[in-house]
């Protein structure tokens, strides 16, 4: 093959991801809390951005009023000596802050409360114990090796080698830790965890302790008949013992704080029923941003080329951010509007009337790309009269019914759960019978699909749901 070098002019079309476009896409994916953090960071980095505040009383903005052409409404604002004002204000404020910081100390109101972690809770009980120095240090080390559920990681022999102690001494320290609250903490497995909790209770049925000690694996597999045969009792007695075992906590340490910050779900969109019609509110809580008039006037008056270039770049960045925030708000509103329109039966009657919906359906209705709708609904929640749901909840596949309609997967699962909750526990429905009952409601679902949905919902098989 002959190779040569030549210059050729070609015209091609391709999409270039500019920084502005990347910012708009990023803002669309943010939740309301993430958007607030991002805006605050931009305000700190861009001196041309500021938050427009409203004055008390007349509701007018406390910042400079502007005309449509962006010019100030008063020539006095232009002639105001900003440098002198900031210089005087800074010196007075600084002297006041210095004297104040020397005299005042922060009060308890300045601090936020935090729940104790599992390790802190156990360490406090260890401080109150009367253990000797060696046992105290070993117990303190073992507390640090508990996982978030309260189970001890590693064996006593491994910890003994690390501490340079005898295994018996580590076992003694472990028994001390296992005597603390919550009951069951410090166990090395589920069996030991449940036995520790049983020893703290009174009037425990003997059958319960025998099952936990010797037949816990059989109970986990649902073999009540086999366990009843081995123990020489009826299946009804086995089920009564299992009900008692279910009152125990398999993860005793999970009830205490892990030390991580608690994050609350804030709805990005609120849907309210006002006099029979649904009103959509975008709950982004974004402050109204504006361009700092001082820098705008400084740019209009002209100045050094380097300063003007910097201000122009910051101005373009600020204007694009304001435009992207408004575009994000409108996109969220349009997506939510279509979801509410399509899922109105769900809003009125409940989950059993949830309609099948795809991202493509919404994208075609609002004239946007499917990926844009996907970004707009990612990691966002909507507050409806039926409760708080993620946006993805309303997008569900459908299964054709026997009467020509299409049922969403979520509505089928809701009906399936309702049938299981209302069945006769002495003779629970099989998967085939559940499929027949759903067919009576117009939902043509195969037995294998019923089995799949039942397992996804954590509903056991019929022989495990049977009560004697």
Angle at 261 between CA 258 and CA 267, to 5 degrees: 125
Answer whether residue 80 shows pLDDT above 50: no
Q: What's residue 90's pLDDT? A: 43
Q: What's residue 219's pLDDT? A: 73
Q: What's residue 136's pLDDT? A: 92
Q: What's residue 115's pLDDT? A: 67
Average pLDDT over residues 185-213: 89
Helix, strand, coil share (%) of the chain residues, nearest 5: 55, 10, 35
* 8 Å CB contact between 443 and 405: no
* 8 Å CB contact between 293 and 66: yes
CATH of domain 398-465: 1.10.10.60
Provide the pLDDT confidence category of residue 113 given band limits of 50, 70 and 90: low
CA–CA distance, 374 with 380 (Å, rounded to integer): 11
* CA-wise closest residue to 378 among 393, 360, 368, 397: 393
* 8 Å CB contact between 268 and 32: yes
Q: What's residue 197's pLDDT? A: 92
Residue 459 has, within 13 A of its CA and on its CB side, a CA count of 22
pLDDT digits (tens, 9 = 90+) for 268-318: 899 999 988 899 998 877 778 888 888 878 777 766 777 778 888 888 888
Q: Does pTM surpass 0.75?
A: no
% of the chain beyond a pLDDT of 90: 24
Q: Dig out the tokens for 77 from the structure.
A: 């604002």
* 8 Å CB contact between 205 and 241: yes
Q: What's residue 3's pLDDT? A: 67
Provide the pLDDT confidence category of residue 59 given band limits of 50, 70 and 90: very low
The secondary element (H helix, E strand) that includes residue 273 is: strand 269-274
* CA-wise closest residue to 358 among 413, 401, 408, 404: 408
Choose between 187 and 93: higher pLDDT.
Answer: 187
CA–CA distance, 442 with 281 (Å, rounded to integer): 36
* 8 Å CB contact between 416 and 453: yes
Average pLDDT over residues 206-225: 78
* 8 Å CB contact between 327 and 335: no
Answer whether residue 196 shows pLDDT above 50: yes
Helices (H), ranges, 206-349: 206-214, 216-220, 224-231, 235-245, 293-301, 305-342, 344-349
pLDDT digits (tens, 9 = 90+) for 17-45: 666 677 778 888 888 888 888 888 888 88
Q: Dig out the tokens for 245 from the structure.
A: 């075992």
pLDDT digits (tens, 9 = 90+) for 354-400: 888 999 999 999 998 898 899 889 889 999 999 999 999 999 887 77
Of 77-81, 139-143, 314-318, 425-429, the least confident: 77-81
Q: Where are the domains positioned within the chain?
A: 118-255, 269-394, 398-465
* pLDDT averaged over every residue in the chain: 80
* CA-wise closest residue to 268 among 356, 339, 195: 339
CA–CA distance, 232 with 208 (Å, rounded to integer): 14
**Across the chain, how many H-helices and E-strands are there?**
22, 8
Task: Specify which of 83-87, 140-144, 211-215 reaches the highest per-range mean pLDDT.
Answer: 140-144
CA-based end-to-end distance of the chain: 83
């Amino acid at each position: 093959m002959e190779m040569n070098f030549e210059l050729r002019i070609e015209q091609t079309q391709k999409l270039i991801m500019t920084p502005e476009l990347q910012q708009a896409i990023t803002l669309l994916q943010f939740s309301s809390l993430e958007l607030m953090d991002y805006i605050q960071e931009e305000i700190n980095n861009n001196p041309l951005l500021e938050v427009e505040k409203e004055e008390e009383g007349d509701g007018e903005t406390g910042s400079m009023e502007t005309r449509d052409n962006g010019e100030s409404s008063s020539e006095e604002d232009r002639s105001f000596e900003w440098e002198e004002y900031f210089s005087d204000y800074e010196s007075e404020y600084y002297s006041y802050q210095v004297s104040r910081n020397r005299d005042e100390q922060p009060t308890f109101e300045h601090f936020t409360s935090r729940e104790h972690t599992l390790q802190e809770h156990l360490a406090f009980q260890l401080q109150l114990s009367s253990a000797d120095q060696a046992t105290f240090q070993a117990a303190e080390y073992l507390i640090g090796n508990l996982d978030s559920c309260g189970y001890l990681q590693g064996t006593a022999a491994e910890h003994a080698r690390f501490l340079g102690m005898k295994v018996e001494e580590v076992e003694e320290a472990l028994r001390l830790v296992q005597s603390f609250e919550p009951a069951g903490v410090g166990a090395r497995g589920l069996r030991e965890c449940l036995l520790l909790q049983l020893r703290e209770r009174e009037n425990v049925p003997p059958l319960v302790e025998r099952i936990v000690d010797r037949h816990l694996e059989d109970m986990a597999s649902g073999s009540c008949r086999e366990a009843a045969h081995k123990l020489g009792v009826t299946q009804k007695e086995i089920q009564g013992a299992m009900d008692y075992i279910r009152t125990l906590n398999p993860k005793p340490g999970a009830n205490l704080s892990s030390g991580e910050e608690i994050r609350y779900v804030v709805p990005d969109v609120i849907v309210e029923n006002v006099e029979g019609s649904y009103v959509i509110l975008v709950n982004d809580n974004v402050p109204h941003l504006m361009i700092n008039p001082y820098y705008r006037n400084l740019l209009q008056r002209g100045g050094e080329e380097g300063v003007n270039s910097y201000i122009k770049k910051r101005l373009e960045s600020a204007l694009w951010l304001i435009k992207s925030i408004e575009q994000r708000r409108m996109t969220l509103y349009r997506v939510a509007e279509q979801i509410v329109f399509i899922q109105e039966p769900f809003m009125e009657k409940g989950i059993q009337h949830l309609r099948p919906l795809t991202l493509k359906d919404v994208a075609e209705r609002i004239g946007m790309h499917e990926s844009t709708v996907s970004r707009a609904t990612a990691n966002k929640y909507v507050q409806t009269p039926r409760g708080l749901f993620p946006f993805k909840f309303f997008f569900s596949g459908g299964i054709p019914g026997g009467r020509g309609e299409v049922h969403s997967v979520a509505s089928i699962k809701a009906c399936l759960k309702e049938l299981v909750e209302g069945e006769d526990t002495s003779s629970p429905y099989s998967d085939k019978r559940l499929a027949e009952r759903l067919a009576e409601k117009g939902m043509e679902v195969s037995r294998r699909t019923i089995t799949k949905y039942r397992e996804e919902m954590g509903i056991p098989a019929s022989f495990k749901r049977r009560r004697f």
